């Protein structure tokens, strides 16, 4: 059963359900199918990207924030190394919320927290110690650069080409090679239309928020304001 099929079944039966962490595309689907009074999202802290969804029910206290501290050094931990170490414990991606590598914290479902505390002893080549902290006090530190483009449409291949400063054919090739994600999901169709609020990830280029596409030029082209996360 696909995620959409499952959501449609819950919607039809109006069955109280809590989902594990949903990516941005899954959250967008829920928003499009449910009344705003029928769902709540919570990622464990303000401004979370990956969030649990509570459908036809109140939010629960079921998200834990874990601090991961290297024992013998003060070296930085990377997002891929933290994620890889967690998944090596046979933890599925939907049980893992946001990973803020610069702060050495990760949000997880409550039922797995104790096992991670006891079993996660190494990240990459570094021995680590894991403790619980109050995730509500975590603040995402995200710097960005703001840019503006004038484009004829919001097609994926066109936006990728303009943002990355490559040809449209090269952008189409990147998309076909699964190097581009929209809202944390790989997109392989170059004609997909993008929207305000979408987060676009282009491998080895960067991560971008499409912030404002509401303004038009005198020639009726779109003046797109986007942010590059740095």
Q: Which of 110, 140, 170 is the last residue of a domain?
A: 140
Q: Give the pLDDT of residue 210.
A: 96
pLDDT surpassing 90 at residue 73: no
pLDDT computed for residue 97 by the predictor: 97
pLDDT band at 133 (very low <50, low <70, confident <90, very high): very high
Q: pLDDT per residue over 3-58, tens digit each? A: 999 999 999 999 999 999 999 999 999 999 999 999 999 999 998 999 999 999 99
Average pLDDT, the chain: 95
CA dist., res. 43 & res. 135, Å (int): 9
Report pLDDT digits (tens) over 169-179: 999 999 999 99
DSSP string, 115-182: HHHHH--EETTEEEEEEEE-GGG------EEEEEEEES--BHHHHHHHHHT--HHHHHHHHHTT-EEE
**For position 72, what pLDDT does the model report?**
83
Query: How is residue 94 annotated by DSSP?
Result: G
What pLDDT shows up at residue 1?
85
CATH of the domain at 43: 3.30.70.330
Contact 195, 214 (CB under 8 A): no
Q: Which percentage of the chain shows pLDDT scores above 90?
A: 92
pLDDT tens sequence across 184-215: 889 999 999 999 999 999 999 999 999 999 99
- Same domain? For 33 and 58 the reply is yes
Rounded mean pLDDT, 146-165: 97
Q: What is the pLDDT of residue 143?
A: 86
Residues 135 and 204 in one domain: no
- End-of-domain residue from the set 79, 107, 140: 140
Highest mean pLDDT (candidates 72-81, 89-98, 134-143):
89-98
Whether the pLDDT of residue 101 is over 90: the answer is yes
What pLDDT, on the 0 to 100 scale, is given for residue 94?
95
Last residue of a domain, one of 93, 110, 140: 140
Shared domain for 107 and 213, answered yes or no, is no
- Residues 175, 125: one domain? no
Q: Are 50 and 120 members of one domain?
A: yes
| Structural domain containing residue 194 | 144-229
């Amino acid at each position: 059963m696909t995620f959409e099929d499952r959501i449609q079944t819950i919607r039809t039966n109006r069955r109280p359900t809590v989902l594990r962490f949903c990516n941005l595309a899954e959250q967008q689907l829920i928003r499009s199918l449910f009344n705003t009074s029928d769902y709540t999202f919570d990622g464990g802290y303000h401004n979370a990207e990956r969030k649990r969804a509570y459908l036809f029910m109140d939010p629960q206290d079921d998200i834990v924030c874990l601090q991961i501290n290297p024992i013998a050094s003060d070296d930085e931990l990377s997002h891929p190394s933290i994620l890889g170490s967690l998944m090596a414990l046979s933890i599925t991606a939907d049980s893992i919320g946001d990973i803020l590598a610069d702060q050495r914290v990760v949000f997880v479902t409550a039922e797995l927290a104790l096992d991670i505390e006891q079993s996660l002893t190494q990240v990459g080549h570094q021995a680590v110690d894991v403790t619980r902290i109050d995730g509500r006090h975590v603040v995402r530190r995200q710097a960005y650069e703001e840019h503006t483009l004038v484009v004829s449409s919001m097609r994926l291949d066109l936006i990728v080409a303009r943002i990355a400063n490559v040809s449209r054919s090269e952008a189409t090739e990147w998309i076909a090679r699964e190097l581009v994600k929209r809202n944390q999901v790989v997109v392989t169709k170059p004609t997909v239309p993008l929207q305000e609020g979408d987060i676009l990830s282009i491998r080895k280029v960067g991560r971008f928020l499409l912030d404002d596409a509401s303004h038009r030029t005198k020639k009726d082209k779109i003046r797109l304001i986007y942010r590059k996360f740095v």
